[in-house]
């Protein structure tokens, strides 16, 4: 019957609950969840992080075999390349421009330094005008030695320039140059030795800077006398017999400071780069008239022509003109003093 059946089911359900209590304490839902969490695997993200760290450590740590292989490679390199006896590689045609560029650098440096030599001459002139005596002569001798040393340094720079230019020519002509360093060093040393064997006249008598230096001192000490040939101021040595006497005789000249146009002392002098004659600036500029951009040189006996662009300011000549004026005024004052005493 429906009632009997219902009561039987209800009784079974209660019995099941009683049996559970007798077997042991019941678990709460929170406890059951905690128990499940203990058996649940860790999140995948953390596991991947640990694995990555382990892989990175293994990757960074060299194996014994790799170390052994690296050592063997180093040994093989040492056997293949003899570093101590490894020669320079031959220069190529592409290196010609580099050699010529370095050669020009030596030449440019020499040209940039040369104008500063005038300082030595200015000091020498001031010392020569100060008077006479042993101290003055010793000072002038020291300054002259400095001038000679500068010329020697210039000759050495020219040696570097010429040797590099010769190497560039050989490479450009197809010659194999695989010992460039030895050729360069040897070529420079050879030229220095050849220069050292020259006599004093051969080294300095043809130097424009040295002649100008000696001429400036001469004018300060002998204002009324032209300087003799430079060979008269340099003692002759063995080997000077083969000198070109004509060239050396022209070393000493008498300097005139009058403008060929105005016939008065130069004012703001400019010098023609064509014929080397100098003029007062205003006077020569007035000579350029008409459409012809060039004129014949106004200096007596000169047939060359030049343009305005050929005229360059000559500061060194301007200094010498002022020094000449100063000496002339001093000489005039001394003459006046002598006349008063008489």
Could you read off the pLDDT of 195-252 as tens digits, one per residue?
999 999 999 999 989 998 998 898 888 877 778 888 888 988 988 875 454 444 444 4
Q: Exposed (0-12), middle (13-18) or buried (19+): which is 118, by Cβ within 10 Å?
A: middle
**Vertex 183: Cα angle to 182 and 188 (nearest 5):** 105
Both ends of the chain: CA-CA distance in Å? 180
Query: What does pTM read for this prediction?
Result: 0.60
d(CA 169, CA 45): 72
Query: Per the structure block, which two tokens stand in for 73?
Result: 């490679």
Query: Per the structure block, which two tokens stand in for 66?
Result: 């790799």
Residue-wise over 209-224: b if at least 16 C-beta within 10 A, else e? bbbbbbbbbbbbbeee
Strands 305-307 and 294-296: antiparallel
Phi, psi for 326 (deg, rounded to 5): -65, -40
Instruction: Select the more confidently predicted residue: 264 or 72.
Output: 264
Phi, psi for 47 (deg, rounded to 5): -60, -40
Q: Average pLDDT in the 73-89 region?
A: 63
Task: Please tell me the predicted confidence (pLDDT) of residue 152.
Answer: 97
**Among 218, 210, 220, which Cα is nearest to 152's?**
210
Residue carrying the six token digits 């010609």: 96
**Among 314, 220, 299, 226, which Cα is nearest to 267's?**
314
CB atoms within 10 A of CB 280: 20
Q: Among 76-85, 135-144, 311-320, whose mean pLDDT is lowest?
A: 76-85
- Tens of pLDDT, residue by residue over 29-72, are 555 555 555 555 555 444 455 455 555 555 555 555 555 555 55
Task: Please tell me the predicted confidence (pLDDT) of residue 1.
Answer: 43
d(CA 284, CA 296): 11
**Three-state DSSP state, 263:** coil
Instruction: Select the more confidently predicted residue: 82 or 125.
Output: 125
Domains of the chain: 256-342 (3.30.40.10)
- Tens of pLDDT, residue by residue over 292-327, are 889 999 998 899 999 999 999 998 888 888 878 877
Per-residue pLDDT at 340 exceeds 80 = no
């Amino acid at each position: 019957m429906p009632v009997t059946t219902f009561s039987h089911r209800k009784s079974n359900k209660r019995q099941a609950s009683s049996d559970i209590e007798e077997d042991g304490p019941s678990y709460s839902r929170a406890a059951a969840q905690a128990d499940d969490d203990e058996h649940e695997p860790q999140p995948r993200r953390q596991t991947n992080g640990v694995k990555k760290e382990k892989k990175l450590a293994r990757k960074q740590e060299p194996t014994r075999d790799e170390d052994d292989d690296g050592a063997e490679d180093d040994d093989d390199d040492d056997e293949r390349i003899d570093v101590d006896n490894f020669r320079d590689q031959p220069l190529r045609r592409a290196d010609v421009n580099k050699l010529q560029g370095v050669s020009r650098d030596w030449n440019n440096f020499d040209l940039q330094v040369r104008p500063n030599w005038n300082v030595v001459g200015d000091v020498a002139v001031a010392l020569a005008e100060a008077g006479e005596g042993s101290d003055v002569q010793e000072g002038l001798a020291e300054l002259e030695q400095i001038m000679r040393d500068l010329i020697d340094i210039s000759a050495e720079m020219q040696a570097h320039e010429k040797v590099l230019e010769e190497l560039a020519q050989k490479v450009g002509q197809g010659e194999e140059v695989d010992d460039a360093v030895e050729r360069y060093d040897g070529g420079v040393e050879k030229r220095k030795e050849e220069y050292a064997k020259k006599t004093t006249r051969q080294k300095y008598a043809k130097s424009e800077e040295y002649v100008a230096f000696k001429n400036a001192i001469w004018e300060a000490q002998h204002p009324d006398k032209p300087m003799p040939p430079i060979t008269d101021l340099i003692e002759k040595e063995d080997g000077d017999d083969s000198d070109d006497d004509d060239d050396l005789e022209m070393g000493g000249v008498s300097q005139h400071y009058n403008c060929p146009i105005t016939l008065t002392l130069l004012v703001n002098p400019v010098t023609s780069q064509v014929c080397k004659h100098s003029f007062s600036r205003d006077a020569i500029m007035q000579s350029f008239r008409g459409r012809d951009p060039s004129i014949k040189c106004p200096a007596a006996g000169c047939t060359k022509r030049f343009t305005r662009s050929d005229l360059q300011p000559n500061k060194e000549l301007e200094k010498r003109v002022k020094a000449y004026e100063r000496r002339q005024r001093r000489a005039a004052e001394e003459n006046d003093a002598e006349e008063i005493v008489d």
